[in-house]
Amino acid sequence: MKRSSMIIIGVVVVILLWFVGSYNGLIKSSTEVGESWANVETQYQRRADLIPNLIEVVKESESFQQETFIEVTKLRSQWQSAQSSGNRAGMVGLGEQMGGALSKLLVTVEKYPDLDLDTFKNLQAQLEGTENRVAVARNRFNEKVKVYNIKIRKIPTVLIANMFGFEKEGFFESSEGSDVVPEVKF
């Protein structure tokens, strides 16, 4: 009897170890699916935080350049009025103001192509990077879902999955209209 008892205990231990291992594997796989979805959400949040800020930077850059041109034009008109009226003190004051505005304008004009191009290139790179991060996170999520869904349907793990209510996860699927390229306006 001792030998048969040992065999029975051995079989029970093997079944118990298989049961625990399978259950823990399902828990791990389920957690990885949740973690992968959290990474997708993190990239969505990054997108939501980043893009409006970058667009505002571009708008601010354009605004600064426009304000500089307006300031120089306004001071030039005032200086011409002071010159027509013979107001030397006004001409000197406006000339100094215009000198400061012109130096800003010259810096802007000298750097305008680089500044403008750099700003837009940076925006484009950030947008591309963000979209790539979102795509990678979605793909990783779908890989984790695939592994999990296969695991809960394979014999003998399906028995434990059904016993503890592990259900099939849905893959990330694009929403209708996502094939249309989004339009970015400034």
Q: Which residues contact 30 (CB under 8 A, 6 or more apart)?
A: 148, 166
- Considering the chain, what percentage of its residues have pLDDT values greater than 90? 34
Phi then psi dihedrals of residue 165, to 5 deg: 75, 25
In a domain, 184, yes or no: no
In a domain, 178, yes or no: no
In a domain, 130, yes or no: yes
In a domain, 75, yes or no: yes
Least-confidence region, from 112-121, 128-137, 140-149: 112-121
* pLDDT value of residue 131: 82
Q: Which residues contact 117 (CB under 8 A, 6 or more apart)?
A: none
In a domain, 185, yes or no: no
What's the mean pLDDT in 1-10? 88
Least-confidence region, from 56-70, 125-139, 153-167: 56-70
* pLDDT value of residue 81: 82
In a domain, 52, yes or no: yes
Range of the domain at 57: 2-164
pTM: 0.65
Higher pLDDT, 165 or 69: 165
In the numeric block, the tokens 């963000």 are attached to 130
In a domain, 169, yes or no: no
What's the mean pLDDT in 169-180? 76
Residue-wise pLDDT for 62-121, tens only, equals 666 667 767 777 877 787 787 778 776 777 676 667 666 656 655 554 555 555 567 667
Residue-wise pLDDT for 13-42, tens only, equals 999 999 999 999 999 999 999 999 988 888
* pLDDT value of residue 178: 62
User: Which range, 6-20, 43-57, 109-123, is most confident?
Assistant: 6-20
In a domain, 186, yes or no: no
- pLDDT at residue 185 is higher than 60: no
* pLDDT value of residue 151: 95
> How many structural domains compose the chain?
1
Which one-letter amino acid corresponds to residue 127?
Answer: L
CATH code (residue 105): 1.10.287
DSSP the chain: -HHHHHHHHHHHHHHHHHHHHHHHHHHHHHHHHHHHHHHHHHHHHHHHHHHHHHHHHHHHHHHHHHHHHHHHHHHHHHHHHHHHHT-HHHHHHHHHHHHHHHHHHHHHHHHHHHHHHHHHHHHHHHHHHHHHHHHHHHHHHHHHHHHHHHHHHSTTHHHHHHHHT--PPPPP-PPTTTTSPPPP--
